[in-house]
Structure 1
Amino acid sequence: MQKRPRRIERQAGGIARIVNEDTCCADILAQVSAATNARETVALARLGGRLSHCVAESSAEGGRAAAERIHEANDAIVLLVRS
């Protein structure tokens, strides 16, 4: 998982380079799509980890902590969907 953010950084740098080189639009869009997919993969993996670990633990405990964690998870999902 730690290699993916670096790969996304390189993809973004590559996109900037090919835009500045006036590369074909289809090639630029393909690179943007690849970077978007990579970003979404990282985001979903992090969200999945949070849901399976933090929220599941809090839910088992119950009470106010569970409600807060579920609210935080919901906020994260909203943020991801709107990005």
Structure 2
Amino acid sequence: MPTQEKETVQPNKQALLNRLKRIEGQVRGVQKMVDEDKYCVDILHQISAIQSAMKQVHVALMEDHTNHCVANAIQEGNKEEMINEMMDVMKRLM
């Protein structure tokens, strides 16, 4: 099922970019740990931290989407379409 391309202005763009850059650094750190044959449990702890950081990005994006895109769509009378889109997103998470 093709996804329609939509664009929006991210209200917290810089904060999201900063988080993603930190995550990128963490991923490079894990690559280095693997390359240097570091202890597996230490690597797993770092991976867990990366996953947690990604969840925070995800939550922040969902919050922005709900407060802006969803709210605007409801005001414009596109409630059904937006509910379907939100349900698709939730299904992908589970």
Report the TM-score range of the alignment, normalised by the length of the smaller protein. 0.7 to 0.9
The CA deviation at 1:69 is: 1.5
Which string of whole-angstrom CA distances, capped at 9 and with x for unpartnered residues, describes residues 7-43 of structure 1? 1111111101101111011110110011001111001
Report the TM-score when normalising by structure 1. Answer: 0.84
Query: Aligned residue for 2:4?
Result: none
Identical columns (%): 37
What are structure 1's unaligned runs of at least 5 residues? none
1:60 corresponds to which letter in structure 2? Q
Of structures 1 and 2, the one with the larger relative CO (CA 8 A, separation 6+) is 2
5+ residue gaps, structure 2: 1-14
Runs in 1 of length 4+ with deviation above 3 angstroms?
none
Residue equivalent to 1:71: 84
Match of 2:85, as an amino acid? E
TM normalised by structure 2 equals 0.75
Give the secondary structure class of the aligned counterpart of 1:42: helix
Q: String of CA shifts for 1:35-62, please: whole Å, max 9, x gaps.
A: 0011110011101110111112222333
Which amino acid is 2:67 matched to?
S
1:22 to 25, 29, 37: 37
Q: Figure out how many residues of one structure are paired with residues of the other and give that number.
A: 79
**Aligned equivalents of 1:34, 1:16: Cα separation in 2:** 14
State the superposition RMSD in angstroms.
1.3
Alignment of 1:4-83 (within 5 A): 4-62=19-77, 65-79=78-92, 81-82=93-94
